[in-house]
């Protein structure tokens, strides 16, 4: 199918304005296709030729102003509209469109728990033509009117309030929307279980498939409570009222994204309806996602980017507002998780060869295929970090005044970076364009390295700034409490500003030098920071005793970066984990640190001789977290997950399986049972028959995924061959979620001997899969099916040969390039890189 270019979108926007879409969908025509009839009313400003997009299984008819266009008008997903005259026009298209099993277009899912079927749409970024005929670009906004025919007994949801049509069973009509972009059109249909309420005069509702009804009911008040409080907080800070007629949140199966901001009908992955115990961090993360998607009702839906080079105008703002509004409106404190997890995602992405500015230069995103690549840690986490620094610089009141000016100027329209910067500059009177140039147009992270010396009358800091951004940040000094040497007490805090120039600045302060100096204490800016040697030694004594979780997060991030950059021995990092994580009070820090220690340090940054000792260290941390007297259920759950993942003795795991608990931990709920059985499979201590028994016990979609993960993890040649065939054979029978589960089970460092032939085959297989199955599966193949455990130059060479191919799907090329850069970094940490050099800053 043809990819829309920016030039084509600009030409079409100059030619056309679009007033209205009338879309009629029929979901009663079988399991393979649905019928879609679209009528588009639009105006041509002058005479010219253009096209609409549609990707049908069968084109029934297409007519422009009543004139049949004929079957030859459709080619390569484009419906040619030749000879337009100035004035109003009407395009009507009748087609059968295919259901998706990969989360694009209209995804069809049949629940194995009860056999019930559910449908939902995903039109972002360029998948709308899998649902309806469209001028599919964000700056051709229009009113949408949707009617749906569904099986009797189903509920239909849409962007506007959906109501059944009297006297027409199964027929639903959605209220017309305000002008919105094509990628935001949404529909969901099925026998949903719904929890409905009203708030601020609007209908609010939650929806989930019936097999998850009891779990939604258990958490409905918490979810709705967060929704209400965030809604009220946005009403306080935004002068523009909520712009749509309802607020539905549908938790849908096999969803590729975390959530999607469809106006009035937010779709979220249904893993956020928790079946098993979760940590406080996971609950807070669900709250952040709710707040994030609600922010999009203004950032993205009311005011929309003009083209996909301004993805950050949507995602950076929603990311920042999601964390800040949840903090303002609830008891959650999610910035700690942002600092340790989301920000680490941004730092990692920003150091790869594929890094890009938060706001790429015009022309850097030439088409929609390129646009997919920038939904990453830079557009989300780095962009949100930049905005947090902007708020620190401007002040919250001025920042909000600029945002509201932006909304007022562009409501129900489109805007660019220049538009937004002008609104902020108008509100603040500050040189915001210069700030934006330094922060938004430059790739890569800055690095701040301190050098501290004591003097006769105080102490002196020489701060080396590698980078080109101005920073306003805090220097935090800390010392051991004389009454409790493991506890840290403040030893001076200083606010400083750095200009945008590289180099070393000197700062003098009175009093004794602090035992521990934290650059960027409080995590107010976005920069890699280092600890001077004296401070690192103090951190080894004081880290868990720092009272502010953001201070601890900055230190842990510094240690993480030092490991990744080859400046800190991975074993020294594990020593810090062993000393301080058992006493770490913030679940978000404990989870992030233990995840890095397990997945990166143990599996990638240590050789095969060192790895068993690393796993024993993590098992020891888990045992400490499960010590008698530890009552916090979140700490016990983190510990149980860590203990299972670090276990190396099958007999120990078997004892836990039989007892139904990790000693001192929680009872094994279904999530922990699958986790433990997966570890048994990795160690070769279970059978396919036992996996089948557990799948029968948990006859759900999650159970199917757990079983697929476990079967793929069995270290037997027959099991690996079956899993490989399921992943990459031409039948392509796996849904996106079952593909990911199988890939997650496949690769393990313990199984290198049986996996070696597949490491050699992976790159060709992934390229062929991406060509057949498209963006979503290409991304999954790069992210989840890459040969983990093969940290060696041979894998790197094969990957580089694959990247040299001219025919790779862009999504796969980007994913593989990122994986190979991580592999180079791991080889350097291991001292096995030979002539391999890091390509990134």
Confidence (pLDDT) at 181: 98
Tokens found for residue 358? 């938060």
Tokens found for residue 369? 């295929």
pTM: 0.96
DSSP sequence for 757-812: HHHHHHHHHHHHHHHHH-HHHHHHHHHHSS-TT--SHHHHHHHHHHHT-TT--HHH
Rounded CA-CA distance 801/410 in Å is 47
SS3 category, 209:
coil
739-758: pLDDT as tens digits: 999 999 999 999 999 999 99
Instruction: Please answer whether residues 756 and 720 qualify as being in contact, where contact means their C-beta atoms are separated by less than 8 angstroms.
Output: no
Residue 185's Cβ-count burial label (10 Å; 0-12, 13-18, 19+) is buried
Instruction: Please answer whether residues 767 and 816 qualify as being in contact, where contact means their C-beta atoms are separated by less than 8 angstroms.
Output: no
Q: Which residues are catalytic?
A: 293
32-52: pLDDT as tens digits: 999 999 999 999 999 999 999
Closest CA to 760 of 731, 790, 715, 732: 790
Helix (H) or strand (E) holding 188: strand 187-190
Instruction: Please answer whether residues 266 and 259 qualify as being in contact, where contact means their C-beta atoms are separated by less than 8 angstroms.
Output: yes
Judged against a pLDDT cut of 70, whether residue 837 lies above it is answered with: no
Mean pLDDT, all residues of the chain:
96
Instruction: Please answer whether residues 643 and 679 qualify as being in contact, where contact means their C-beta atoms are separated by less than 8 angstroms.
Output: no
Top CATH class of 6-276 equals: mainly beta
Cα-Cα-Cα-Cα torsion 6, 8, 10, 14, nearest 10 degrees, comes to: -170
Confidence (pLDDT) at 268: 98
Tokens found for residue 490? 């403040």
Judged against a pLDDT cut of 60, whether residue 841 lies above it is answered with: no
Q: In the chain, pLDDT over 70 holds for what percent of residues?
A: 99
Please state the domain extents for the chain: 6-276, 303-440
Judged against a pLDDT cut of 80, whether residue 835 lies above it is answered with: no
Helix (H) or strand (E) holding 153: none
CA distances from 314 to 4, 22, 130, 307, 591 (A): 20, 26, 23, 11, 28
- What is the pLDDT averaged over residues 190-195? 98
- What is the pLDDT averaged over residues 630-649? 95
549-586: pLDDT as tens digits: 999 999 999 999 999 999 999 999 999 999 999 999 99
CATH hierarchy code of domain 303-440: 1.10.390.10
Instruction: Please answer whether residues 730 and 776 qualify as being in contact, where contact means their C-beta atoms are separated by less than 8 angstroms.
Output: no
Tokens found for residue 469? 């951004």
Rounded CA-CA distance 724/721 in Å is 5
Q: Which residues contact 284 (CB under 8 A, 6 or more apart)?
A: 326, 332, 333, 334, 337, 588
Confidence (pLDDT) at 832: 64
Rounded CA-CA distance 776/766 in Å is 12
Instruction: Please answer whether residues 173 and 46 qualify as being in contact, where contact means their C-beta atoms are separated by less than 8 angstroms.
Output: no
Confidence (pLDDT) at 733: 87
Confidence (pLDDT) at 833: 52
Beta bridge partners of 509: 459
Sorting pLDDT into bands at 50, 70 and 90, what band is 345?
very high
Q: Which residues contact 523 (CB under 8 A, 6 or more apart)?
A: 335, 339, 343, 550, 553, 554
Judged against a pLDDT cut of 70, whether residue 834 lies above it is answered with: no
Residue 717's Cβ-count burial label (10 Å; 0-12, 13-18, 19+) is exposed
724-741: pLDDT as tens digits: 999 998 778 899 999 999
Judged against a pLDDT cut of 50, whether residue 71 lies above it is answered with: yes
CA-based R_g, the chain, Å: 27
Judged against a pLDDT cut of 90, whether residue 85 lies above it is answered with: yes
246-282: pLDDT as tens digits: 999 999 999 999 999 999 999 999 999 999 999 999 9
Tokens found for residue 303? 């005011």
626-635: pLDDT as tens digits: 988 778 999 9
Q: In the chain, pLDDT over 90 holds for what percent of residues?
A: 95
Rounded CA-CA distance 266/230 in Å is 15
SS3 category, 233:
helix
């Amino acid at each position: 199918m043809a990819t829309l270019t920016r030039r084509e979108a600009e030409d079409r926007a100059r030619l056309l304005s679009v007033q209205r879409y009338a879309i009629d969908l029929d979901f009663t025509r079988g399991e393979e296709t649905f019928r879609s009839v679209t009528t588009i009313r639009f105006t041509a400003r002058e005479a010219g030729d253009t096209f609409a997009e549609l990707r049908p299984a069968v084109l029934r008819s297409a007519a422009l102003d009543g004139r049949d266009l004929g079957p030859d008008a459709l080619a390569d997903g484009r419906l040619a509209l030749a000879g337009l005259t100035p004035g109003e026009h009407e395009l009507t298209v009748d087609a059968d469109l295919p259901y998706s099993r990969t989360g694009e277009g209209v995804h069809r899912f049949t629940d194995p728990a009860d056999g019930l079927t559910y449908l939902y749409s995903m039109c972002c970024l360029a998948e709308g033509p899998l649902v309806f005929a469209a001028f599919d670009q964000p700056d051709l906004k229009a009113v949408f009117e949707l009617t749906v025919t569904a099986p009797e007994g189903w509920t239909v949801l849409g962007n506007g309030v959906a109501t059944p049509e009297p006297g027409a069973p199964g027929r639903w009509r959605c209220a017309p929307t305000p002008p919105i972009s094509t990628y935001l059109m949404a529909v969901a249909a099925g026998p949903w279980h719904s929890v409905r309420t009203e708030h601020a005069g609007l209908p609010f509702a939650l929806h989930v498939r019936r097999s998850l009804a009891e779990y939604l009911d258990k958490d409905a008040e918490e979810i709705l409570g967060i929704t209400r409080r965030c809604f009220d907080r946005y009403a306080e800070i935004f002068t523009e009222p909520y712009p749509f007629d309802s607020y539905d949140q549908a938790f849908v199966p096999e969803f590729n994204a975390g959530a999607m901001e469809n106006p009035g009908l937010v779709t979220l992955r249904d893993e956020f309806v928790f079946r098993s115990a979760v940590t406080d961090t996971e609950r807070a993360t669900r709250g952040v996602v709710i707040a994030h998607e609600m922010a999009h009702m203004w950032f993205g839906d009311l005011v929309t980017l003009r083209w996909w080079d301004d993805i950050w105008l949507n995602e950076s703002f929603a990311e920042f507002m999601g964390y800040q509004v949840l903090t303002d409106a609830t008891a959650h404190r999610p910035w700690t998780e942002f600092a340790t997890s989301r920000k680490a995602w941004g730092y990692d992405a920003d150091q790869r060869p594929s890094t890009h500015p938060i706001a790429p230069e015009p022309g850097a995103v030439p088409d929609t295929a390129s646009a997919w690549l920038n939904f990453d840690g830079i557009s989300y986490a780095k962009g949100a970090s930049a905005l947090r620094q902007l708020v620190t610089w401007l002040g919250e009141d001025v920042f909000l005044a600029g945002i509201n000016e932006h909304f007022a100027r562009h409501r129900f329209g489109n805007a660019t970076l220049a538009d937004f910067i002008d609104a902020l500059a108008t509100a603040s009177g500050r040189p915001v364009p210069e700030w934006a140039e330094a922060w938004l147009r430059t790739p890569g992270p800055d690095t701040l390295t301190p050098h501290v010396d004591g003097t006769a009358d105080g102490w002196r800091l020489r701060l080396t700034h590698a980078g080109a951004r101005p920073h306003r940040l805090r220097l935090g000094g800390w010392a051991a409490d004389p009454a409790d040497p493991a506890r840290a007490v403040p030893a001076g805090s200083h606010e400083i500003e750095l200009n945008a120039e590289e180099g070393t600045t000197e700062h003098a302060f009175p009093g004794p030098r602090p035992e521990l100096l934290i650059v960027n204490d409080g995590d107010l800016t976005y920069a890699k920071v280092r600890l001077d040697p004296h401070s690192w030694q103090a951190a080894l004594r004081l880290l868990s005793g720092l009272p502010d979780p953001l201070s601890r997060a900055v230190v842990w991030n510094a240690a993480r970066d030092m490991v990744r950059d080859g400046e800190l021995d991975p074993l020294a990092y594990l020593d810090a984990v062993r000393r301080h994580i058992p006493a770490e009070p913030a679940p978000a820090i404990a989870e992030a640190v233990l995840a890095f220690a397990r997945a990166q340090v143990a599996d990638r940054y240590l050789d095969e001789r060192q790895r068993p000792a690393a796993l024993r260290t993590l098992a020891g941390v888990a045992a400490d977290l499960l010590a008698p007297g530890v009552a916090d259920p979140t700490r016990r759950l983190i510990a149980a997950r860590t203990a299972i993942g670090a276990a190396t003795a099958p007999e120990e795991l078997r004892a836990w399986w039989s007892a139904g608990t990790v000693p001192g931990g929680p009872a094994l709920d279904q999530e922990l049972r699958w986790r433990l059985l997966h570890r048994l499979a990795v160690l070769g201590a279970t059978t396919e028959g036992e996996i089948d028994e557990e799948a029968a016990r948990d006859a759900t979609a999650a159970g199917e995924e757990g079983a697929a993960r476990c079967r793929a993890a069995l270290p037997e040649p027959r099991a690996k061959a079956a899993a490989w065939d399921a992943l990459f054979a031409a039948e392509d029978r796996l849904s996106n979620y079952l593909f990911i589960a199988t890939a997650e089970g496949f690769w393990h460092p313990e199984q290198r001997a049986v996996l070696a032939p597949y490491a050699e085959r992976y790159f060709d297989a992934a390229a062929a899969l991406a060509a057949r199955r498209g963006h979503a599966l290409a991304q999954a193949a790069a992210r989840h099916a890459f040969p983990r455990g093969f940290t060696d130059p041979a894998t790197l060479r094969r990957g580089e040969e694959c990247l040299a191919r001219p025919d790779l799907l862009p999504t796969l090329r980007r994913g593989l390039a990122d994986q190979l850069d991580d592999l180079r970094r791991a080889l350097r940490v291991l001292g096995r890189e030979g002539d391999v050099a890091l390509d990134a800053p």
